[in-house]
Amino acid sequence: MSLSSTGAVPSRRAPRQRSRPIRACWRHTLASESPPNLLELDRIEAGYGHAALVLRGLTITVPRSTIVCLVGPNGAGKSTVLKVASGMLHPRGGTVRLDGHDVTRHGPQQRLRAGLAHVLQGHSVFPEMTVGENVRLGAYTVPDRATVATRVQFVQHLFPVVSEQWDVLAGLLSGGQQKQVEFARSLMIDPKVVLLDEPSMGLDPKATATVFEQIERMRDTGTAVLLVEQNARRALQTADIGCVLDLGRVHMSGPAPELLDDPELSQLYLGGHVAG
Ligand SMILES: Nc1ncnc2c1ncn2[C@@H]1O[C@H](COP(=O)(O)OP(=O)(O)OP(=O)(O)O)[C@@H](O)[C@H]1O
């Protein structure tokens, strides 16, 4: 598949080596009934207050079981895309669709209930609460105790550190471990889409590697992941599809391995070293 400069993400991704699929029983209906693109941002125009537009007709789609990574220079609008997707910032034009439904005018709470989780930049665990209490907080909108118990088992299986440290105060965990607690908490609503804003920020290389492995595991459960990451080269090594943003538009998109191998893109956006 070749790179696209149209702004639309190609619907199929290049084959990638994946870990063994991890499926939870409640996800079977999701996989069979949902449209292929779980998140669609269609010709989005957005900005802050009365200032000039930051996003200028941006189109991005995130299929099921796919990691889409946004890269680009500082100020290109990457975090703004996540804010529009999560409902924190309402666009001035364009449409946001979640699992085929128009949610453009819905706020963050409505989108959360509809299956969109947003893991924010930095650390958002409650340090004085245990890992288990933090994770269970993610299910506060889920009334059925049996469902919560099933999801707890699922995230404990997916993130071993969460299981091992269940009764430990979250504030005592390392940065990388806390990030995995945040991932586990986000999965407690059984999201269709997870937005990840700079998940490796402040982590050492080993913790970063673990966090990216866990993002792949989330993807392998069927979740659509939209990722913003400063560490563009590392993120593209994990992602299925890359989108290069510049001046509020998708400058180029395509299978992440092809973006990594493109000498011009590498020079402009990835620090000049072509992956070898
Ligand atoms: N809350 C805000 N109020 C006003 N302007 C903002 C706000 N947040 C971001 N901007 C502006 O929007 C533009 C895009 O910012 P954004 O944070 O989306 O870019 P980015 O690509 O994520 O950048 P970086 O890689 O530096 O995080 C910038 O010009 C920024 O100054």
Q: What is the pLDDT along the chain (276 residues), one digit of tens a residue?
A: 445 544 444 443 444 554 443 434 334 334 445 568 999 999 999 999 989 999 999 999 999 999 999 998 888 899 999 999 999 999 999 999 999 999 999 999 999 999 999 998 887 899 999 999 999 999 988 888 999 999 999 899 988 999 999 999 999 999 989 999 999 999 998 899 999 998 888 888 888 888 899 899 889 989 999 999 988 888 999 999 999 998 889 988 999 999 999 887 877 777 665 544
**Exposure string (b/e) for 123-160, b if CB count within 10 Å is 16 or more?**
bebeeeebbbebbbebbeeeeeeeebeebbebbbebbe
Domain at 65-87+108-270, CATH class: alpha beta
54 lines ligand 1 (CB under 6 A): yes
In the chain, domain spans = 65-87+108-270
Q: How many other C-beta atoms are found inside a 10 Å radius of the C-beta of residue 214?
A: 21
Q: Which helix (H) or strand (E) segment is 84 a member of?
A: helix 78-86
| Closest protein CA for atom 29 of ligand 1 | 75
| Gyration radius from the chain CA atoms | 18
Nearest-angstrom CA–CA distance, 80 and 27: 30
Model pLDDT, residue 4:
52
Q: Which two tokens stand for residue 250?
A: 């998708």
71 lines ligand 1 (CB under 6 A): no
Mutating to test ligand 1, I would choose from 41, 48, 83, 244 the residue with most ligand atoms within 8 A of its C-beta, which is 48
Model pLDDT, residue 204:
84
Whether 248 contacts 76, CB under 8 Å: yes
| Closest protein CA for atom 30 of ligand 1 | 75
Whether 77 contacts 228, CB under 8 Å: no
- Spell out where 52-192 has E strands: 53-63, 67-71, 93-98, 101-102, 116-119
Q: Which atom of ligand 1 is nearest to the CA of 245?
A: 21
Model pLDDT, residue 143:
83
**Amino acid making up residue 214:** Q
Q: What angle do the packed helices 175-187 and 205-220 form, to 10 degrees?
A: 10
Q: Write the CA distances from 55 to 4, 226, 233, 256, integer angstroms.
A: 18, 16, 23, 22
| Angle at the Cα of 208 from the Cα atoms of 204 and 212, rounded to 5 degrees | 180
Model pLDDT, residue 273:
54
Q: Which atom of ligand 1 is nearest to the CA of 47?
A: 12
| Closest protein CA for atom 18 of ligand 1 | 77
Mutating to test ligand 1, I would choose from 55, 79, 86, 226 the residue with most ligand atoms within 8 A of its C-beta, which is 79
78 lines ligand 1 (CB under 6 A): yes
- Spell out where the chain has E strands: 37-47, 53-63, 67-71, 93-98, 101-102, 116-119, 193-197, 224-228, 241-246, 249-255
130 lines ligand 1 (CB under 6 A): no
Distance separating the N- and C-terminal Cα atoms of the chain: 19
ipTM of the complex: 0.97
What does the H/E/C string look like for 187-225?
HCCCCCEEEEECCCCCCCHHHHHHHHHHHHHHHHCCCEE
